[in-house]
Homo-oligomer: A and B are copies of this chain.
């Protein structure tokens, strides 16, 4: 039993999970895009992201909160069914907004904000969140890591003088997903991480891998 656990821990530990760092960004509906940028406006692709069909658009907006403004906030395409504004907690404090830590799409009760584009300012009634940290992975990765969709796991990073173990990391499994730990800029900076660094799983469900 101990031997089996030992082997399991070692093999899991060897999986390096690439770190992706999400800067503040907005997902917009086509209606909001048209209000901000003009009638029948279509987002233009700047950089294709690793997760399926997602891209950084060339378009940016400004976020205007009660205490402050943040310019040059990237729109992530394609257009979505619901507006969603993802900021770090540092950003939320700059703006003067209490953004809750939420999964993508879980926007009930989240605060609104003013978004400014070249054609207009749009007041959103809801939609500002700090993203719940999460790992995207395929079913094959999930099997290899011995986790399942919606598990809450712990992940360890080892940058010199800034080692961190993140608890409350959500597992998201889909055949379309590529293995990637998504952290916001506060989380990445607290751990001294850069894009392309790696994290390792150190606790899955009830099993502690003793890292």
Query: Interface residues, chain A, CB within 8 Å of chain B?
Result: 88-90, 93, 101, 132, 160-168, 184-187, 189-192
Q: State the CA gap A132–B160 with chains docked (Å).
A: 11
Known: A162-B168, A164-B165, A167-B164. A189 touches B192 (CB 8 A): no
Q: A185 and B90: CB pair below 8 A? A: yes
Q: State the CA gap A187–B88 with chains docked (Å).
A: 12
Closest 10 CB pairs of A and B: A163-B167, A89-B189, A190-B190, A165-B165, A186-B189, A187-B190, A186-B190, A101-B161, A163-B168, A186-B186
* Chain B residue with the shortest CB-CB distance to A100: B161
Known: A132-B161, A161-B101. A191 touches B192 (CB 8 A): no
Nearest CB of chain B from residue A71's CB, rounded to whole Å: 11
